[in-house]
């Protein structure tokens, strides 16, 4: 079998993702599962859920105590109610733990960002402190207005003295 030129068979390319065939396992995005678990955990921890659960359990008890005996679903030890509540708790606990783990991860990231920001702020404050210190040193070397006026005053007095000595010397020589 001869191959046509330019259509030679190559192995999978390493710079492209491998295309997989269909899988029988369902794929689930971990972020989506986390968001669903957080929503469920938030609902399970709400007053609304407690109200609904209280109404259902209270209705269940009233029905199975006061209904005619042939219409009762669950007799006095209420085994089916206990089973239903245990099933609900067995599903709620892992969802609550997943939501707590996601919250702990978010808190860890937020803490690291706060720590990085604090480090940056400390570095900025150190830089500004050094800049202020260098400006103070530089200002110590700069001539101030009062110093300049004093020097000019001193020079003026020296010129007056020189002028007076010259005028005295000229008047004595003449």
In this structure, is residue 129 part of a structural domain? yes
Longest Cα–Cα distance of the chain, Å, equals 151
- Express each pLDDT in 135-174 by its tens digit: 888 877 777 788 889 999 999 999 999 998 888 877 777 6
For residue 24, give the DSSP letter. S
Number of folded domains that form the chain: 1
Identify the CA nearest to 38 among candidates 88, 86, 106, 85: 106
Residue 89 domain boundaries: 32-164
- Express each pLDDT in 67-120 by its tens digit: 998 999 888 889 999 999 999 999 999 989 999 999 999 999 999 999 999 999
Please tell me whether residue 23 adopts helix, strand or coil conformation.
coil
In this structure, is residue 147 part of a structural domain? yes
In this structure, is residue 16 part of a structural domain? no
């Amino acid at each position: 079998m001869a191959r046509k030129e330019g259509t030679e068979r190559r192995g999978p390319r390493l710079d492209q993702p491998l295309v997989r065939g269909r899988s029988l396992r369902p794929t689930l995005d971990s972020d989506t599962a986390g968001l669903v678990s957080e929503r469920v955990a938030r609902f399970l921890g709400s007053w609304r859920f407690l109200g609904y659960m209280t109404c259902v359990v209270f209705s269940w008890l009233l029905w199975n105590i006061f209904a005619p005996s042939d219409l009762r679903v669950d007799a006095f030890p209420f085994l089916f109610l206990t089973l239903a509540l245990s099933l609900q708790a067995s599903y709620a606990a892992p969802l609550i733990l997943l939501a707590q783990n996601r919250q702990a991860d978010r808190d860890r990231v937020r803490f690291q960002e706060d720590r990085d920001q604090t480090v940056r702020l400390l570095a900025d404050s150190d830089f500004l402190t050094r800049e202020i210190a260098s400006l103070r040193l530089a200002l110590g070397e700069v001539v101030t207005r009062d110093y300049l006026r004093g020097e000019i005053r001193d020079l003026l007095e020296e010129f007056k003295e020189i002028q007076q000595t010259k005028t005295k010397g000229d008047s004595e020589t003449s």
